[in-house]
Structure 1
């Protein structure tokens, strides 16, 4: 064997460029990476779909909470206003002074409002957090107590306590739904900031000049 050929054989053996690697190695490696990529892609897509489903479910629950909380507030406000009706209540009735017709109508309205409010409250207890359930419970308790009133003084006291419970529930609802107090919008003007400053100084000078005249 010539020296040049022998040197080439030794170089090929040293660098591994001979036929030590099988011909099917490259396809196998490529197929392996393809399978791994497919599995990872499937897992990624599944996770994205799960997150999307969770967001959709959370938004649906949020809409339902808003609806039931709004209904409960509406019925509670109606009861609060109804308690302000003046008249003779059952415990104050006498042979010469019967229960006022306004009071009779008010008590019927209170019973109907409480029945509807309980339906909304039952849903709130299932899908709302404790931060909403607790103030909602106070509102419902005040409404239920309004069903058994017998004197005008009790009606006034219940109206005050129910009003406080409504305010607490409203505050909890605004916090939960992200509807906090918003700042008043600033006046919009097309004038640049520098021109606005100059205009303000000019107006101040003009006001001072008018005062000195």
Structure 2
């Protein structure tokens, strides 16, 4: 159990002592052309590709993107995330731009009315094995410097910038008013599905100025 926990910490780029990101784990920071790489994956498997896009567009965890039922989750102006969540904690995520709407509509086109974007011939365990096999074949691995979880980092850092107008600390952003910074971190935590705003430091870096 301890070894598994330490592995998760290393892969997330979080300091074990402080649970604060000490480097940017987004794909952009790794020099990856996000849409080009997702396009390469989609050309091989459109279901895996759309799940990567759901992670990028909405900051979902990999399992959430797999188990999301897009027809049910689409509430018009927001996405209701209730399947595959950590600790069973439901949340809503605003649908605030054309990219998000486009991704969700394409996910709906792949899913049945009450289903997810997982291949209906596979159960969740089989799909997870397939998903990770496909993305590894495209170099999406920790050894390559970026994982699918980096798409969640990509979106959450983007949310911080949308709220503050500045890059996050882990991305080299400058000083931000403390109240605005706190508000942005709470927003990031809510998008990510965490109950405490302090957990946002695992994606954004330290809020101390």
The alignment's TM-score, normalised by the length of structure 2, stands at: 0.22
Higher fraction of helix: 1
Larger Rg belongs to:
1
Q: Which has the higher contact order (CA 8 A, sep 6+)?
A: 2
TM-score by length of 1: 0.22
